[in-house]
Amino acid sequence: MATRQEILDWCRDSLQVNMFKDYAPNGLQVEGRETVNRLATSVTASKAAIDFAVARGADMLLVHHGMFWKSEPLTITGWKKERIETLLQHQINMVGYHLPLDAHPEWGNNAQLAALLDWGLDYQCGDQNLLNIGRLNTPQTLQRLSDSMADKLQRQPVVVGDMNREIKRIAWCTGGAQGFFQTAIDEGADAYVTGEISEAQYHLANECGVAFISAGHHATERYGVKALAGAIGEVFGVEVCSFDEQNPA
C-alpha cells in the first residue's frame, strides 16, 4: 500500500515532468482516495477503462491520455461528466502522463516501442527531444519491417514507400507525430514510424524517397503506461492490472 501523494511525487521526479511544455496536465487529474492498493492502467481514460478500474477495485487509474486538453471546452457535460462522475463515486484517482511518458528513456512509449521492435537508439532531436533517430539492429526490407510491425503490434500499418527498399536508419515518435516527418528526412532516415498519417505525408514520402509508416496511435502507445505501472508496482508494492481496447485509430 502507498499513499496517492507518494506515487505522484515519485512519478513527477522520475518522469521529470517539469522539463516539458504540454497541452494536458501531467499528474493527478481527478482526486480519489488517499491510499492506493491497486493500480489500473489504460492508454486512455475512456469510460470503458474507468468501468474496468471500478470492476477491479482499483484505487488509481494511470493513463497516457487523460481527459483535460487545452483545445477542449471547459464545461463538464456529456461524456466527460459521465466519466468524472464514475471516478468520484468510486473514489478512484485518475492520473495521466502525456509527453513526459512518451520521452522517458526506459518506460516511455518511444523506448518501449524500440525495445519491442529491436531498434537501437542513436540520439533524440526535434521539439522537446521527442523524435528518436536510430537503426534497425537487423536491416531489412520495408516489406519485412511492415510485416514484423503488423505481427507485433496486432495492427496492419499504413505504409508509403518502396517495399523492396532496405531499411537501416530509422526515425520514430509514437502517437500523433506525423509533423516530425520533415525532420526525420533531414536527419537521413530511411523510414519514419509514427501513429498517424495525414494527407501531406503521402506526397512527401513519394517525393523524398523516405518511407512513412503509420502504425496506429493506440497501437504504438500501449506499452509506456504498462511499463510505468510496473515500476510503480515494484517500488510501492501495489497490485497492477491493465486494460486494453481494440482501438483501430
As a whole number, the mean pLDDT across the chain is 97
111 plus 204 within the same structural domain: yes
Residues 14, 1: Cα–Cα separation, whole Å: 19
Beta bridge partners of 199: none
Predicted confidence (pLDDT) at residue 94 exceeds the cutoff of 90: yes
51 plus 123 within the same structural domain: no
Provide the pLDDT for residue 221: 98
128 plus 201 within the same structural domain: yes
51 marked ligand binding residue? no
Split into its structural domains, the chain has a count of: 2
For the domain that residue 65 is a member of, what is the CATH number? 3.40.1390.30
Residues 185, 137: Cα–Cα separation, whole Å: 20
Helix, strand, coil percentages, rounded to 5, for the chain: 40, 25, 35
Residue 24 within any structural domain of the chain: yes
108 plus 175 within the same structural domain: yes
For residue 169, the enclosing domain spans 103-220
pTM, 2 dp? 0.96
Beta carbons within 8 Å of 227's beta carbon, 6+ residues apart? 106, 107, 108, 112
Q: What is the pLDDT of residues 195-240, one digit of tens each?
A: 999 999 999 999 999 999 999 999 999 999 999 999 999 999 999 9
209 plus 111 within the same structural domain: yes
Q: What is the pLDDT of residues 150-200, one digit of tens each?
A: 999 999 999 999 999 999 999 999 999 999 999 999 999 999 999 999 999
Higher pLDDT, 71 or 131: 131
The type of residue at 72 is E
Residue 247 within any structural domain of the chain: no
Residue 112 within any structural domain of the chain: yes
Residue 173 within any structural domain of the chain: yes
Q: Which three cell numbers stand for residue 150?
A: 503488423
145 plus 90 within the same structural domain: no
232 plus 211 within the same structural domain: no
The type of residue at 153 is L
90 marked ligand binding residue? no
192 plus 141 within the same structural domain: yes
Residues 78, 125: Cα–Cα separation, whole Å: 39
80 plus 155 within the same structural domain: no
Residue 192 within any structural domain of the chain: yes
* Cβ–Cβ under 8 Å, residues 240 and 217: no
85 plus 126 within the same structural domain: no
Provide the pLDDT for residue 83: 98
**Closest CA relative to residue 111, chosen from 119, 95, 184, 216:** 119
Residues 96, 65: Cα–Cα separation, whole Å: 6
* Cβ–Cβ under 8 Å, residues 118 and 134: no
Q: What is the mean pLDDT of residues 127-137?
A: 97
Residue 123 within any structural domain of the chain: yes
Q: How far is CA 170 from the centre of its chain?
A: 19
Q: Which three cell numbers stand for residue 114?
A: 524500440
215 plus 107 within the same structural domain: yes
The percentage of the chain sitting over the pLDDT mark of 90, rounded to a whole number, equals 98
79 plus 138 within the same structural domain: no
Residues 239, 245: Cα–Cα separation, whole Å: 21
Residue 249 within any structural domain of the chain: no
65 marked ligand binding residue? yes
Residue 153 within any structural domain of the chain: yes
Residues 135, 150: Cα–Cα separation, whole Å: 19
106 marked ligand binding residue? no
Provide the pLDDT for residue 78: 96
64 marked ligand binding residue? yes
